[in-house]
Structure 1
Amino acid sequence: MEKYLSNYLKKITENFDKDNIKLHSTNSIANNINLSRSTVSSYLNKEVKRGNVIKVKEYPVIFLDKDVFSKFYFKVELSEYESLEELFNENKSNSSKASLNNVIGAKGSLKEQIDQIKTAILYPQNGLPIMLLGPSGSGKTYLAKSIYDYSIQENLISKKAPFISLNCAQYYHNPELLSSILFGHAKGSFTGADKDKKGLLENADGGILFLDEVHRLTDEGQEKLFTFMDSGEFSPFGDNSIKKKAKVRLIFATTESIQSTFLPTFIRRLPVIVNIPSFSERPQHEKLNLIDSFFLKESEILNKSIKVSGQVISFLLSSNYEGNVGKIKNIVKYSCGSSYTRGENTDLIKVKITDLPADCEEYIKETFNYQFTNRYQCRSYDYRCPELLNISSREEKNIATTYFQFIEEFKSAESGNITYEYYIKKMMSNVNILLDDLVFNTEYAKNQSLFSILSFNIRHTFKFMEENYGTKQDGNKIISIASLLYFKEEHEILINHPDWNSIRPKLITFINNHMANSVWLAKLMLRNLSEQLDYEFLEEDLIVISFYLNSTSMQKFKSGINAIILAHGYSTASSMANVANRLLKKNFFQAIDMPIDITIDDIENKIIEFIDNNNIENGLILLVDMGSLSDLGNRLKEKIKGPLLLIDYVSTPLVLEVGSLLIKEKNINEINNEVLNNVNINRKLIYPTEKKKKAILTCCYTGMGSAIQIQEILENSLKQYQKSLTIIPYDYKKLKQNKLKELPFQVYKVIAIIGTNNPKIEGVNYIGLDQLIVGDEIDEFISLLKCNFEIDEEQLKKDLVFNFSIKKIIENLTILDVGKILKSIEKAVDKMEEKFDINLSNNRRFLLYLHTCCMVERILRKESVDEQLDIDEFLKKQKRKIEVIKYSFAEIEKEYTIEISDLEIRLISDILFTE
């Protein structure tokens, strides 16, 4: 019975009609479902108390399902109302609630302006005067009304407080009349003034007075106004002996320059000047939101649904009628009216490009870029269902659903319902399903040109990555990302999710910690699109694209030293960087061209922006043409995340020399010591002052290749600690020779070195890789980590035992058949022991296994080893060693059809005989 009654109430609420409210009375409901009145009344009143049903207590008393009413009409808070008027007044109250926060652009291009306004409104003792500065039609009047609504919402003025608006331009040629209207006038003050009359200041007492085009006030009018701003007193026009008081909040608006239009004494009394951007200055998604709001309003006025062609939407978005939002609004109104008159008796108004006003035709011919006429799909508007506005196609629905899942699933991970590892896997799967659908189940025929432009710019980013980091271009990645951005059309989806603002910073931090390479490439791509296509860089796109790139198993980029040229002049730095990068065939140098009058603050901000968007753990070199090194260095040392080398000199030879040292992979210490030693230039090497991140170094006697492989194995075991721990492969010979002088000890807190040979650095723990493999040092390693991190001991031990078996290590290092290559190498090592009459330690034997497995694959791949300057001397003096090693590895050469070079033999000899 209760379910049947509930379903009936939902049904009639869905079709609620103010003109037929009796349908919702207890008697009517009881009669229509054949139940007694007392049963229905008892149920309904019980549900009112539970908060599930709305009761309106006027005659006749009516009942509405609360959830259905909130969904189809407006959200309600209470369950009981005295009258329908009170119920529907709540909608008006809700519409003004958070009025400033709901202004289009409040979280975007108007964010700073809204913050300024709130500061002025909430200032004690009647707030501060506000000046709105912006082009005609930019929305200043609308913003002033929103300020009024917000003031009521914050209980700063009463709900009945007046909002009075005056356009001063209407009385520009009659300043006496303007002054009279504003301040009132005394009887006899001018011809026809036959009695005293109140002015707008007095009428606005307790509320807000908005003066538009206030620059039309005469000097005298400005003086009278700032006297009132100072004292709260004013005199009516024609009698300065009368003093009146009023408590009025003032909002001014002007399209003119403040400094050249107003008296200095007036300007000094304007603590809050708010610059309102023109329509053309707004981001694309805000323009679209404004256009949407205009069409929704027309839908409400005409009481019809409206369908607008993509051409019309594209035209309105690309229009620039001197930044006039009002003009765009009028075009929308006219075009809807034009279509309405054609199809007055139809339920749907269809607005096409031919419905635009006649004066748009010339603009279309001269300035409209037809390349983008089909960039936007048609949009549907119905004031009864505004929430359906941005979901006009299957593709958009799928995109919105997937984007929302990123938030909902992250909340599940935070609450412990799923693991973060599962979250990553699930989101990577979701985004791949979405992109596959967009690529394979959709046609691009409508606007191939835009898709091509997106693809071109994304391909450009991948080309940059290939040239500088060895990341191969992938056509599938390019098409997938282009498809997503094409269908998404710069819409900001997650702004509609109630938890987006609170989840966003945590989710951004999460992806930075768990997929840093993917995030960096996604940032690079979106920033490039932003610059080339006037395309807005949205953090929600950064998150989704980062997960997609992470799912493609991107290789880890080698993080090198960054270098920036800062030079004064229009293109001095850019030209120098371009020349150097072309000659060096590597994009080592970024450029910042600086105007002559640039401040140290501006330079600092540009550098910090670069630091925030790039990995500079290995160092940043700044080549500056003039300026105070000490000042800039002192400013940056608290903010850098790695060593900073400042050089107070710029020239093409210097840039090329720095580039040549970067090609040789010199670290920042070595560059500082070696660059232009014969020239007296100012330089300063600064290390970060913030708390050092902890690090483990990996090294191998035979070179960096094996050190990198050890790093990757360690990262697999310790990936849950990567937020606070970094693992760095480093040159063994440099560590052994220079000890604590090497760069990692300046930048990080090194807690251990893991390798195949001990570089013997005082105060730093060394753990041999062979000891991890046999298990002797696993407990010691875990104890070391326990001193620095909270760890799951049992799980970590399992991971280490698994990852540090000899078979597992060689599986990670090569693509060869592990069992087969190990048997062959074991035979070769046994032969060398017998022929040289030596007993190899477990560490030495392991090192030979490790090195020679990698050697075989390296030769198969035709990769070279580092040059050895004394190889000729070795070949002359060590002929027997060479013969024995060649004999021992002859079967391997035959099995794998390779030839082991003299350089490789020298490395094997070093492992066998070097202490």
Structure 2
Amino acid sequence: MITNKEKAYRYIQQKFFKEQKLDQNNGVNTEEVANYLQTKRPNASAMLNQLVKEKLLTKTKTRPVKYRLSDQVTHDAFDQLIGSKGSLADAVKQAKAAILYPSGMLPLQIIAEPGSGSTYFSKAIIEYAKDKNVLPRKASYHEINCIITPDINKALFGSNSGDSFLTRYQNSVIMINHYEKLTSAQVYQINHLIDQTSNLKHNLVLFSTTLENKDLIRTSIKIVLPNLNDRPLSEKLGIIQNLFDKQAKSAKKAIVVSSQILLGLAIHEYKQGFKELEKVIVFASAKAYLRSLDDLQEQEFIMKSDFPNNFIFEKTLNIEQSQKVKALLQNHENYVFEGNKSNALADYNEKYEQKLYQSISQNYQNLAQEGLEPRVIKKSVFERIESLYNKYGFHINEALRHQENEYLTELGKLVSTDLIKMTRNFLNHASAQLNREFDQNIFYGLCLHLNSIIKLNSKSEHTLNQKEIASLKIEYPQELALTRKFVSQLKEKFHYTFSENETMVLLTFLVESRTKEGKPVILFAMHGNGAAHYISEVTNALNHAHNSYAYDMQLDKNLNVVFKELKKLIFKINQGAGVIVIYDMGSFKEIFERIIDETQIPIRLLNIPITLIGLEISRKALLNTNIDDVYHNVISNMETYNHSQFNNKQNMIITLCHTGEGGAIQLRDYINQYSRLGWLVKPMSISNREKLAKNVQEWRKTYNIKEFIGTYNPNLFGIPFIPIAKIFENSHDNLDRILNFLPIETTTTVYDQVYNYYEKELKYVQVSLLKQTMPQVLDQLTEQYHLSEDIQIGLFTHIVGILESGLSGEPRQNIKLSATILNSLKIDFKFIEHALRPVEKAFNFLFNDSDIYTIIAIIKKL
């Protein structure tokens, strides 16, 4: 927690910032600080003098003595942010660099997940720019929200070419929120606008988006804010202290919180970040305020029951965590927040919370005068708390609220009010039970789906096979229970009996998306009772991580039971990037291979046969009295203990491109020419995923498939993937090391290797002309579509494949493209046709629609 000395320093900082705007620097005296901290004057004096010794403050020689911020320390608006010298230090440095750039402020991006504090951080940036006089003190603020702005094109670019947001607003702050909602054409226009504008006319231009979209807008400064859950414990405790202080100030009552509750709040995972944390604390404080009115208490006492059921207040900590907590909480059992903490950037919501507490108090008094029992009053008032918080605590933008009402009106034309209401209640209940948010798409989709079944008697075309149903039941038991209850309610209301398949399809609406990329995890699987768990615990403790898991297999356990338990465990621990399994004996291998086939989860198996070696040493020790005979016998036969990792199947590589021709065939020929491994290489199409999966399943029976090589990973059956760029960015002398996933060192460039290869292999395409034309083509495509290096190399080889095939006189591919497809990709066709003209002119060759479509398919991964 923040010490009194830190509180004193922050108080002086706050006063400095306020006076700075008035060109004043009066400082503070000891009595003022003592009153603020509610401590004795000698204690305040000792703290202030300590800060002087630390060169954070200076003091005057006048009477009374005045304390001011030291000139040796830089003081600015960012000091008000918790973590400015910690987890936000890099973000602050980048922001300052953008604001103080010599030729004028640079546009910058704030990249953060919702609830990471981007609003607070942007306010600090604006305040800093004003303090440094690069932005006028009275600069206006203009926000363009790409979600709710009605005519976003006009808002960004105006009615004519000279009316963009950069020219329309001058000496202003321009915030463009959620730019990931823009079309690729609009993003291209913004990038072009920024590139062409040398002077931003003293505008501070801010963009905001989430991490996965950070490369759409091209700015030199990209500030990534950490998620609240990833912030250090000390910072989270500081944030929580601020929030309780704010509540105490609004309620005009001190709030008492135990250290155990503070710790529980700090270690809890918040899916919605700051917003969720603030909502939890406001609700808890409001409940405590209500109790204080009922019990005539001068203070509010926060209790564990004031928080949601998913809070854990007795979490076991390791030694290092315990020591940190002990130092931060200073062994205090309770903390008192009295609302005397000043933080200008965090007080934007204060007036609404004051209204909240005023309304609670007034409502309580009115009910009490009516002679109602305390329990009735509490229930009634708490309902009032929720409605007031929704009213004052989190504003729903009026445009969004109006838009939602319009959508519901439109939905009501198709779906009955009863069904809409039941569906909304079902999703709200599921959201609370699963601690998961469901967006509007799920709500509307589920309403229409149920309406088609119940009202229109239209059977769902989507059916699940028995394997899929079994998998859903195993993986989502809680969601299944909620779905069955909802189905029962629907049957009672609408007299419709759902089949098992229809029920399971409803369940899929509750299934949480697994598209978010996670990190690989480790699973120790060993025979016996406890060995795997002990190794896992030690791994987590020494690595200060929680990415290691364990499965101990009882020696007498049925293998079918083991399979079911391991499959369930894999589903549970997989974060989206797969599982590396370290196992001790061969009986696990077949089980995990079966799990790979059924789940398609990436699983890598590493056999470390320690149990088998132990058994062998034990047997030999019983028959031999010479320790060295036993030792050397085991060492000489070490390879045989690990035989389960190997098999007699021929190794195979699968090269991929969109059509299975062109780049895939060229890559196959390259590997066949330069690899000395003798592995079979099969070129395949990635566009027909079902056919690819079917072929791979068949080949796995005969061949040991080592890897896929292509422009992007098909993620099939846990088979490893090598990007095509890695093949060509290294010398062909290193090809076999790459194919075996061994480290290499290289200084050659990717295109040098490609050109060198093509010099020997191409018969109809002149490499000299490729060198003249292809860099320009790839630059245009990369700028327009933000292509990764892997996609660039894949496109390069694919286009060369089309040229070589076409110039040789071979029949050209002819893909039948519907008018719908051509219309939907009209802009892409036009852009790529234009980009390819230098190549067409150099080679006297014309790319047809089929060629261009396959290029688009590679770029957009169609």
Compute the TM-score of the two structures, normalised by the length of structure 1: 0.29
Q: Identify which of structures 1 and 2 has the higher relative contact order when contacts are C-alpha pairs closer than 8 Å and 6+ apart.
A: 2
Structure whose alpha-carbon radius of gyration is higher: 1
